[in-house]
Chain A
Amino acid sequence: MSTTQERADTQKRFTLAKKGFDEADDRFASSRWFVSVLDKIFPDHWSFMVGEIALDSLILLILTGVYLTFFFIPNSRDVVYAPTAGHVYAPLVGQHMSEAYQSVLNISFNVRFGLLMRQAHHWAALVFLAAVVFHLCRIFFTGAFRKPRETNWIIGLTLWMIVMLEGFTGYSLPDDLLSGTGIRVIYSVLEGIPFVGTWITYDLWGGRYPGTTFITRLFIVHEFIFPALIVGLLSAHLMILWRQKHTDFPGPGKTETNIRGSRVWPQYAMKAGGLAMIVSGVIFALAGLVQINPVWIYGPYTPYTVSTGSTPDWYVAWLDGAVRLWPHWEFRSFGHEIANPFFPGLLIPGVVFTLMYLWPVVDRKIYNDHERHNLLDRPRDKPFRTGVGVAAIVFFADLTLATGDDILSNNLHIPFERILEVLQYGVVIGPVAGFLIAYKACKALQRTDAHPIRHPVGGMIVRAADGSYHTLGEAHAPHAGEDGYVEVEKAEEHAEEHAEGR
């Protein structure tokens, strides 16, 4: 098939590549390493793609973010918005505002592609956090956090915490009315910390709220400190992943000691590159077509105005929801007090995160399982764990709903008092109900479908020698598809033989 010309070309490319790698090898003895990179095997499952989407949107966040730093002025100095060269936003002309807010108006109206980059940055953040949360659920429900991957569970949770804060500091930078309100609440949460609260807030804000340095400091945190931590932790996360290799779902021929998938080079790498482009494309389409965080509508921040319906970005909404649902309690004795916002703002998230950090240990105790695992659990096979996960999702969902209580109340024409009460009960009862339902559902699924390999879910259609079709794994089917059945059995036997032998 191949012509002489083609063969010669191939030969030439090969020689060239070899020369390149030789140059590297002469300096780093790197050939073995390159082989391991190019031949690295990645299992193929759609849910593994979500980690990649997180990575792609992070890269986009960094690129658009750096672009924005060229125009953003992190200063809370008071200015009067006045027509300058180029476009201005007429309704705000003559208003007092911080220089930071003015610079964001400038990016939005006066910098070509500025608004696009701003909105792409914000959309990428939403996609990023959605991917991270989905990824976290995937890890939890499939037991991917078990030995030997506990370290990545810890790093992953820390990443999640930091990326939430990174998002929050990000949308607080424009110093508009919406974000300023969020900052005010955070100040109160921190101020309420027992013993040291006022010291912490005076240090962070350089004095009593609102101070004059906060935007500047927030900027340093958002564009340097947190990104450095995120990139550092993520590198560790991925290096560990690389070393330990990917987990995989159980399936024919898969064992704890083998790995099945395609090699990185070339197909997987090209797919990954394509996915990165597609993720970017979708984010830019959103940035162009779907308005997000129109700060010029909210207006500049002042400590004495606020609008209704102020809700944070979705990924921190559960924190705001907790602040809304926590009853009017605070504790006072001996002339001291633990203020109300401290409990929902710090204590509850603290407890939630501690439980999540400890989960691999708890899980080990519950299932008395100290083994190493490379094959994943199917959620139904671990009803208790799945129940706990569902309970957690219900808990977060309830809190997230609470953050929109005033919006819900307006749209549903229910007094917000009722909505809050329902959600207050819901945050206690909901997770319990969620646990029980999930637990029962898992048990039921286990009964109807005994083994993921022998009886694939949804059925696998096989064609028998006589030309008839049967569903594989349906034990009661009149003429069970002998051929297919035997085939799968064989595969299992092989796998078992290999697991025992050698």
Chain B
Amino acid sequence: MRPFIQFESVSKAFGSVTVVNALDLAIEKGEFVSLLGPSGSGKTTILMMLAGFERPTQGAIYLDGRRIDHLPPYRRQMGVVFQNYALFPHMSVAENVAFPLEMQRVPRAEIAERVERALDMVKLKQLKDRRPSQLSGGQQQRIALTRALVFEPSVILMDEPLGALDKQLREHMQLEIRELHKRLGLTIVFVTHDQSEALTMSDRIAVFNAGRIEQIDDPQIIYDTPRTRFVAEFIGETNLIEAKVASVDDHVARISLGAGLSARAHAGNGLSAGQTASFSLRPERIRLGAVPEGSNALDMTIADCIYHGDHMRVQLTRDDFSLVARCERLAGNWTVGASVVASFDPSDCTVLTQ
């Protein structure tokens, strides 16, 4: 049994440049999967291959057990939401939403009713006679979404649909899309380069780098246990330190961090003593002051303290070794130049070899 959507070693090259490289990706029905990656990592290209606007150079794409990579876009039954909305400027809102239904030759009376219902769902029924040019960005976005939903496509594809909205509206729309996804059981493939957007919305995130998937997992796993340096740095903020594995013993590795400091960390498979690796530690996992039982403790000096409203960023150094810690504002009164013990649990840091 194939997954609902499957990319099977799909490659895409433009001329001599390979943009997507032997991609394997499986998406289940009803899943919300985000494709996350830096600019130029091939996210749009992947989405366009799924929608049918680009042909894979190699490999196959399956939807619901059928091979679709040779089908033109209009026979794929996918609702695509473009970054710039792509509403038809010469049609009213209602005509825009009716368009996909007309294409399916739905009877007139039913079209009117379904358009009404769909616009009701996004609470924009009162705007149905307006032209897209008479709508705000958020309203246009919602109409574009409605138009992509109304014909009950098997998959919704969105390419940075919220990129042009201001922060507040973007967060509101994130919740709204998430809510629609749950309520209607939609399968959504969502492209973004905003990591917090991916973390809040997705069931799973695929992190892309240069046309390859670095890691695909649910948001919490991606954040807590990144598998590669790239993922650790791209998602959230981290202290990434080049280090040496001193010893490995029963899934606990002792890592020498430099400046005479060392820490115990959870070790994955394939880690051996003497190896160089990257040590990743999230700033918010570092405690200053108290040292609970069983945690790592490093004697550091406070080099700088930066006020960030709801939290402080504390720069810690010892010789040429440095760390950034994120502390609650009221957690302590830190003075620059003071010595402090930085502590963290072995399970809160990761050792990366890739």
Chain A complexes with chain B: no
Where the two chains meet, the residues of A that have a C-beta atom closer than 8 Å to any C-beta of B are none
